A and B are shown apart, each in its own frame.
Chain A
Amino acid sequence: QKEVEQDPGPLSVPEGAIVSLNCTYSNSAFQYFMWYRQYSRKGPELLMYTYSSGNKEDGRFTAQVDKSSKYISLFIRDSQPSDSATYLCAMFPSGTYKYIFGTGTRLKVLA
């Protein structure tokens, strides 16, 4: 079993929909949780990070961490065709420098 599990998709939604992207993990030592967006043939770009449990909001994006369930989510409100990309979750325990990435979920927002 992988340390971080992420549904690969593809996930297709109409423009304006609320999108929910999720990852589960098995290592309870993970403290930092990140979401990256990757457009085709580009490097990943950091969207958001959260430390430990709780929510964080940035514009149309909300990151949520539930450590008791070992579950993290990224919500995208009012989704746009420009949000079409692969979304990767990443996490690591405090005191290390090694990210563990999910495999990524491919999102398509249809105009």
Chain B
Amino acid sequence: DAGITQSPRHKVTETGTPVTLRCHQTENHRYMYWYRQDPGHGLRLIHYSYGVKDTDKGEVSDGYSVSRSKTEDFLLTLESATSSQTSVYFCAIGARGQGLREQYFGPGTRLTVT
């Protein structure tokens, strides 16, 4: 998985609780992304980061926040989890030098909100 780990790999949580997912990379890549994958929707971008403390929204950012205090870590926080946020979450990294053609994905976190 190209030096990308995600934690936790599985989580069950209750509606209304905050949840933080972590993505860690050992590739020193500048760009990092958070996606969610749902049946019938494919992969949808939540937020992305183009450097330490530099982040921007994707197409489905409502209800999510991110932080990146170090190159290797990108955190995704669900401020108050809802059942509609039950999904599989993937982190990805991309290298500027390759013109961002290539993104490499982590193994995913399966989140269930009850």
* B1 lies within 8 A of A88 (CB): no
Q: Does A101 contact B (CB under 8 A)?
A: yes
Q: Does A71 contact B (CB under 8 A)?
A: no
Residues of chain B at interface, number, CB under 8 A: 26
- The stretch among B67-75, B77-85, B94-102 that forms the contact with chain A is B94-102
Provided the pairs A32-B99, A45-B105, A46-B103 are in contact, do residues A99 and B45 lie with their beta carbons within 8 angstroms? yes
Q: A46 to B45: give the CA distance in the assembly, Å.
A: 17
* B42 lies within 8 A of A104 (CB): yes
* A46 lies within 8 A of B42 (CB): no
Provided the pairs A97-B94, A99-B103 are in contact, do residues A42 and B45 lie with their beta carbons within 8 angstroms? no
Residues of chain B contacted by A46 (CB below 8 angstroms): 102-104
Q: A34 to B43: give the CA distance in the assembly, Å.
A: 13
Q: Does B48 contact A (CB under 8 A)?
A: yes
* A42 lies within 8 A of B108 (CB): yes
* B48 lies within 8 A of A98 (CB): yes
Residues of chain A contacted by B58 (CB below 8 angstroms): 98
Provided the pairs A44-B90, A97-B50 are in contact, do residues A49 and B101 lie with their beta carbons within 8 angstroms? yes
A-B contact pairs, 13 of them (CB 8 A): A6-B42, A8-B40, A32-B101, A42-B108, A43-B90, A43-B105, A44-B105, A45-B105, A46-B103, A49-B102, A88-B43, A97-B100, A102-B42
Binding site for B on A (CB under 8 A): 6, 8, 32, 34, 36, 41-46, 49, 51, 88, 90, 92, 97-99, 101-104
